[in-house]
Chains A and B, each alone.
Chain A
Amino acid sequence: MATSWTPDQPIVQCVDVRKSFGALEVLKGISLSVKKSEVICIIGPSGSGKSTLIRCINALQPITSGSIQIEGIEVSDPRLDKLALRRKVGMVFQQYNLFPHKTALQNVMMAPIHVLGQKRAEVEARARALLAKVRLAGKEDTYPGELSGGQQQRVAIARSLAMRPDIMLFDEVTAALDPETVKEVLVTIRELAEDGMTCLLVTHEMNFAREVADHVYFTDRGVIVEHGPPEALFTAAKDERTQRFLSQVL
C-alpha cells in the first residue's frame, strides 16, 4: 500500500472509479493517472461527473467502487489518514471558499499553523512570499469581502500552496469569475505549472487546456470518452461526442 509507492510512479492513479448518488451513477468506471509535474485537464459538458471525480480524489466524497491512490495511499480505505492525504493534495474551489473573517494573509497562514503546528514567524514569511507570487503583495491585510473574485481565487491558490502539496486540484476555478479576471487566475496557474507543480484541472477554459495541458481527458455522462495530448484531441478528435462538444465550445 503506502509503502510500495516510488516517485517515478503516478501521483494519482484512478482505476475503474464508480460513484453513485442513490440510483444515479455519475461516475461509470473512470481510469486515469497523473504523473509528477504533469498538467492534466478534464473537460466535458456539465453534469458529466468531472467535479465529482476531483472531489472523490480528495476524499471529500466517498467512491462506490474502484480505486483511487494518491502516492500509494488508497483514498477509499476506511482507515484512511485524511490528514496525510490532504498534506499531499491542495484543492481550489469554484467559489474560492475563503474564510471571510480572516485577512488574505491570515487565510494563507491558518492551516499551516492550526493543522501542521508550524511556527508563526516561519509561516508568515512563506505566506507573504506566496501572496507576492500570486501578485497580491499589498493586499495582505485586506478581507476577502473587499477583494475581487479573481483576487480571492488567487488568495485561495496561495492558501493551498502554503500546505506545500505535491499536487493541486482545480475545480472549475474560473467558472464564477468575470471574463477580465479569468486571465489573471489562469496566468497564476500557468506559472505554477511552469514551476513543475503537478496540476489536475476540471475546466471550461479550452484555450488554457490546449496551451498548458500535457494531457486532456474528455468526459461525458460519467465515462472518459476520449483522451490524449491537447493538439490531437482538439484538432483530430475521433469520437463523435467529442467533436460535437468541441464544435460547441470552441
Chain B
Amino acid sequence: MHEIGDWFQRLYETTGLNFSVFYDAYDWDRYFGGLKMTLLLSVTTILLSLMIGAVGALLQGSPSMLLRLPVNAFVVVFRNTPPLVQIFFFYFGLGTMLPAVEAAGMRVPLLSNVQWAIISLSLFAAAFNVEIFRSGIEAVPRTTLEAAEALGYTRLKAYVHIVLPLAIRVCLPALNNNLVNLLKTTTLAYAIAVPETLYAVKQIWSESQNVFEMMVVLLATYGILVGVLVWLMHRWERAMRIPGYAR
C-alpha cells in the first residue's frame, strides 16, 4: 500500500496532478466513507424498489378497482415528478411535519436524512419497476395461464409458480436499465447532505484544490460500480436462461 501512496505523491510533485485520496489518509477515509454510503444507498434502494415494484405489479393486475387505483396513482405521481424534487419534498416537506424524538438527551428528527433518501429513492425507482414488471406479466401468454387454470391452479398459485418466473425473464433487460439509473440517482442524496461519494469527493476537492483529479476519481468510481451491477445482472440473466425458450 505504501508504494501506491508514494507513487501518487511523486506524481503530484513531478506533474502537479494531485490525487490526494490515494496518499492522504484523511482524504482516503472521507472518500471510502462516501463509497460505503453509496453502496448502502444502492443496495437498500434496489432491494426495496424491487419488493415494492413486485407487490405493486401484482395489485395492478387485480380485478379490484380499489387495489388498482392507488397503484396507478402512485406510478403517475412518482414517474411524473423529478427525483430531486421528491427528495426535497420528503426531507424538507414531510420530514419537518413529523414529530421529533428524544435520543441521547437531544431532540432529533424521527427519520434521518439517510433514511429519507432511502425511502424517497426506493419509491421513485419502484414506480418504474411496477411498470417493468407489468410488461413482463403481460408477456406471459393467456393460454399458459389457462393451462394452469385447467390443472386447478388458483390465481395466486399460478402467479407464484408460473407467471412471475416467466415475467422476470422477460423484463430483466428493462429492470437492468432502471437499476443502473437508480444507482446513479443515489448522487441526488447529496442535496440533503447525505455523505455519499459525490458529497465526500466535493469536500475533498474544496479543501485540496484538486477539482479535475477528483472528478476523474468520481467518474471512475461510478463507472466501476455500474460495471459491477451490470455484470451481476447479466450473470443472473444467464442463470435464468431456459434452453430452447424464446430468445
Binding site for B on A (CB under 8 A): 58, 60, 82-83, 86-87, 89-91, 93, 95, 97-101, 110-111, 114-116, 142-147, 156, 159-160, 163
Contacts and interface: CB of A to CB of B under 8 A. Distances in A.
Contacts of B246: 100, 145
- Of the four ranges (under 10, 10 to 19, 20 to 34, 35 or more), the interface on chain B belongs to 20 to 34
A114 B143 CA distance: 19
Contacts of B144: 97, 99-100
B215 to A, nearest CB: 45
A163 B151 CA distance: 8
B219 interface: no
Interface stretch (B83-91, B161-169, B185-193): B161-169
B242 A145 contact: yes
Given A82-B152, A101-B169, A163-B152, A145 B157 contact: no
What 5 A-B pairs have minimum CB-CB distances, sorted nearest first? A145-B244, A97-B147, A146-B244, A111-B151, A86-B152
A40 to B, nearest CB: 19
Nearest to A96: B147
A1 to B, nearest CB: 20
Contacts of B154: 83
A157 to B, nearest CB: 12
5 contacts: A98-B147, A100-B245, A101-B169, A111-B153, A145-B242
A160 B143 contact: no
A115 B150 CA distance: 11
Interface in B198-247: 242-246
Interface of B: 141, 143-144, 146-154, 157, 161-162, 165-166, 169, 242-246
Nearest to B158: A114
Contact of A99 (B146, B152, B157, B162): B162
A127 B157 CA distance: 21
Given A82-B152, A86-B149, A142-B243, 12 more contacts: A90-B150, A93-B146, A97-B141, A99-B166, A101-B245, A114-B153, A115-B153, A115-B157, A116-B152, A143-B243, A144-B244, A147-B244
B150 A86 contact: yes
A159 B151 contact: yes
A85 to B, nearest CB: 9
Interface of B is mostly: helix
A163 B149 CA distance: 13
A93 B147 contact: yes
A30 to B, nearest CB: 20
A27 B161 CA distance: 34
B243 A145 contact: yes
A97 B148 CA distance: 9
Contacts of A115: 151-153, 157
B167 to A, nearest CB: 10
Contact of B157 (A87, A91, A114): A114
Contacts of A160: 150-151
A86 B151 contact: yes
A115 B162 CA distance: 13
Given A60-B146, A97-B143, A83 B152 contact: yes
Contacts of B151: 86, 110-111, 115, 159-160, 163
B161 A91 contact: no
B224 to A, nearest CB: 33
B116 to A, nearest CB: 39
A144 B141 CA distance: 15
Given A101-B166, A145-B244, A60 B161 contact: no
Contact of A110 (B150, B161, B169): B161
Nearest to A60: B146
A143 B240 CA distance: 13
Contacts of B169: 101
Contact of B242 (A89, A90, A100, A114): A100
Contacts of B242: 100-101, 143, 145
